[in-house]
Every structure is written in structure tokens, then in C-alpha cells.
Amino acid sequence: MTLHHPTKLLACALAVVTLAGCASFKPEALRANDVADQAKTLKDQRSKEIEPLSGVLTLEEAIARAIKYNADRQVRLMEEAMAYGALDMANFDSLPKWVASAGYRSRDSDLLTNLRAGPNSPITPGSTISSSRTATSSDLSLTWSLLDFGQSYYAAKQSGDRVMIAGERRRKALHNLVQDVRTAYWRVVAAEKLGQTLRETMAEAQAALTASQAAQSSALRSPLEPLRFQRQLLENLRMLESIEQELSFARVELSTLAALPAASTFTVQEPQQPVTTRWLDVNPSDMELQAIVNNPDMRESVYNARIARDEARRTILKMFPGLSFSYGAKQTDDPYIVNQQWNEVGAQISFNLLGVLNAPVQRRMAELGISVAEQRRAATQMAVISQVHIARLNYANAAKQYARTDQIAKVDSAMADVVTAQANAQRLSKLESVAQRTAAILSSLRRYQALSNAQAAASRLQATLGLEPAVALSEQMPLAEVVKSVGVSLKAWEAAELPKLPAGLSW
């Protein structure tokens, strides 16, 4: 039995609905095995990519390993690569559209055309067939729109500026990474230098506390005297345990930053980097100019202002008429068409008449976007100049505090040696020995903390000036070369010399 056309249409619709229903699915929750397998695969992959540590971990190698292997930095690099990909796509958008198409059609009845005779017309009225029931066609067309080209041009310029912004954010992430590594590294140095003394002093204090508690019931002493003794010992133990807890996290933090296993055991070497005040002799005006030119936040704000100006130009361009040109080579096998192959050229102009109504609003919004971007750039410039002076003052204060804590640590260490010798000769009590050794440990800890703060202040000043380590990093670059490059950059920073700017710049 032959189905009529409406019946066929209904059957097709029911088939589409049935297929759509079969295509629906329910969300599937993650299984623990899948998550564990993916984590293991990632761990094994990272283990193969990361070069194992051999020997003592130096500051240069810690920074180099963080630059080469740190996961957060890899994310920044991928974001920059994605920005480059977006730029390539924007460049392709400015090219003409070259479209190739082919098709097939079929009818269940002939395409009939009624002919009507007009006045003095030789045509005989009737019906004629003007198209075959089945036919195939092909089309190769080239289309180019002047308006689309203008839009794509400014979009490509904006994508280029976004590439530059991604690079500035990568530089800023590098500054923060180096600063975190230096701070964590000095804390690990303090933990290694003070660890043995810390444990010995805690053991001595615990032994003295146990002996005092055992002798507390003696009738030869006042009940208040051993309690005061125990109170002071407990206070010293609390301070020592607090120091031990503070230093215990440093190794895990450094391991994470340097892409080492969290439970790895390694030793560090105290860098011979004196805290110098050479940077305080540099002209503050030269520092301001250096920051204005090279600071990542400042450069990002300039790029954002350029993007806002290009966006305003794109908005104004939308108000113009669209002019497009086309050329196509067409072909069909319909036998009723005499010329089955032909070339077609066309030109078209279009204009959105209703777009004239909101043109003032669009222009006003574009100008407002430029004003906001320029205001942000001005605010960023003021903030960067302020950061230069604050970072410079912090560096000066940190250097001064380190010099003072270093003197105090030396005095407390000498006093601890004297008190320990007297306690061994039984001329002083254990309480005085423990108290003085605790004070010496606290002074040494404060010295390393002051040294770490001074190094961190130097890193902040370096980041504010936009002077990141000059490391030409590539994925194929060996770790040893990265370590060497980092060492050269650290020595250049210690020399306290600003890079030369292009001639003619003034501030």
C-alpha cells in the first residue's frame, strides 16, 4: 500500500522523536577506581618528566626546578599558548570565505509551470516541466565582505594584545614563584641549622622538668619554688615546640614549589648571599621609570587600554553599510538546464536601518569603555609608583632589621656558650641553662627570619621593577642550563644595576 505525503511526513517525525529519545542519557558519577587510575597515570607521567634530585639542593636549583616543573607555571604557559592560538584563528577570520558545497535533490512529482499567454504573445498556454525529478549540484564560491574584514582586523589586533597580556601574567607568576621559593628555602635552611640544637634543648628541658616534678615533694624546699621552676620550663618548651612546628612546614612547601615529592628528604645549602644595601643608592626616579616601562601590571593596563580603543573602533565600524563581493563556479546535471556549468559574480550592499537608532548609545558605550580603561591605567600607574617606594623602604628596613638581629643572635649565642659551660660545672641551674639556650635559639630563628624577610623584600623590589630572572626556557632545555641561567640572574641582581632602557626615555 502506498503512503500519502502527509503520512510519510508523520512517519519521519515519529522516527526523529524516537531517535532523540533513545539518544538521551543519564549523568554518570565518577568511580573511585577511575579517579585513582587517572591520578596514578598523572603521577607516573610527572615522575618521568621531572629530573630526580641528586645531592644538595641549592637555591639556584630550587628556583630552576620551580621554573621548569612547577604546575602553576605550566598553567600560565598553556594560557599563553592558548592566546597565541586565538590570535591565529583571528588572523584566519580576516581571509575571504571559500565554501565548497554539493547537493542532491529528489521529487516524487514533476515540477510543472503554468504558462499564460499575454497580449500579442506567441506562447501557447499550458503546463511545462522545468526541472528534473532528481538532480545533483556542486558549488565552489569565494565571498569577501569589506565590513567583516574590518571587524576581523580589529579583532586580530585585540587578540594580539591579549597574547601580550598572557605574557605579562606569566612574568608576574614567575616573580611570585621566585619569591615564594626564596622564602621557603631560607626557612628550610633555618630548620636544618637549628634542628639539632632545638631537639637537644627540648630534651634537656624535658629532663629538667621530670627531675623537678620528682623532687617537688621534698620538704627541704618551698612548695612555690619548684612550681615556678616548672612553669618557666614549660613556657620554654612551649616556645621551642612552636618553633619546631613553624619550621616543619617549610620543607613540604619547598618540595611542592620545586616539584619534589612531598615526603622527600633532602638537604639544603645556605647561600652566601649577603644582604646588601646597594639598591638604596639607585636613584628613585630611575626606579620609577624602570617600573613604568617593565612592571607587568603596568604593561597589562596599557594593553587593556589598547583593547578598549580597538573595541570602540569595531563598534563604530558596525554603523557603516556592509559591502560584500562573491564569485562562484557552479554545476548541475539537471537536463532541463541548458548551461549546466556557469560562473557567477556578485556584489551586495546591506545596511541595518534600525541600527541607526542605537548608534549613539553604542558610541557612548565605546567611549565610556575607553575612559574606564584609561582611568584603570592611570590608577595602576599611581599604584606602581607607590609600590616602588614602598618596596624600596621595605628593603631598607629589612636590611636594617637583619643587621640588628644578626648582632643579637651573636650575643645570645656567646651567652649560651658561657651559661652552658657554667651549668656543666654545676655553677648554674638547669633552668638558667635551658632559658639561655632557648633565647639563643629564638635569636637564631629571628636572624634567619630577618634574612628571609630581607631576601623576600629584595624579590618584591625586583618584581615591582619588572626584573624577572632572564631565563630563556624551553621544554627541551636541560635542568643544568636552567640552574646556570638562574645563577647568572641572581648575581646580576646582587650587582644592583638597572638594565639600560632605550635612549630618549625620561620621567
Domain count, the chain: 1
- Summarize pLDDT for 353-378 with one digit per residue, the tens: 877 778 788 888 888 889 999 999 99
* Residue 84 and residue 130 in contact, taking contact as beta carbons nearer than 8 Å: no
Residue 197: exposed, middle, or buried by beta-carbon count in 10 A (0-12, 13-18, 19+)? middle
Per-residue pLDDT reduced to its tens digit, 340-349:
899 999 999 9
Q: How far is CA 494 from the centre of its chain?
A: 27
User: Is residue 285 included in any domain, yes or no?
Assistant: yes
pLDDT > 80? residue 228:
no
Which pLDDT score is estimated for 474? 59
In a domain, 318, yes or no: yes
CATH number for the domain spanning 433: value is 1.20.1600.10
- Whether 331 is in a domain gets the answer no
C-alpha cell, 92: 584566519
Q: Say what the pTM is.
A: 0.74
Residue 56 zone, left/alpha/beta (φ > 0; ψ -120 to 50; rest): beta
Q: Measured between alpha carbons, how far is 167 from 144 in angstroms, rounded to an integer?
A: 33
For residue 357, is it within any domain? no
Whether residue 2 lies inside any domain: the answer is no
The C-alpha atoms of residue 124 and residue 50 are separated, in whole angstroms, by 88
Q: Using 50, 70 and 90 to split pLDDT, how confident is the model at 2?
A: very low
Q: Average the pLDDT over each of 123-137, 215-229, 426-440 and give the range with the smallest value.
A: 215-229
C-alpha cell belonging to residue 151: 571587524
Tell me the residue type at 358.
N
Convert the pLDDT of each residue in 305-358 to its tens digit.
Answer: 999 999 988 888 888 888 899 999 999 998 888 888 999 999 999 888 877 778
| Host domain of residue 206 | 54-94+164-323+368-494
238 occurs within a structural domain: yes
pLDDT single digits (tens) 236-283: 788 878 878 877 788 888 998 888 887 788 889 888 767 777 888 888
Q: Does 500 fall in a domain?
A: no
Amino acid at 384: V
Q: Give domain status of residue 250, yes or no.
A: yes
Q: What is the dihedral of CA 354, 355, 359, 365, to 10 degrees?
A: 120
Pairing of strands 126-131, 111-115: antiparallel
Please give the single-letter amino acid code of residue 428: L
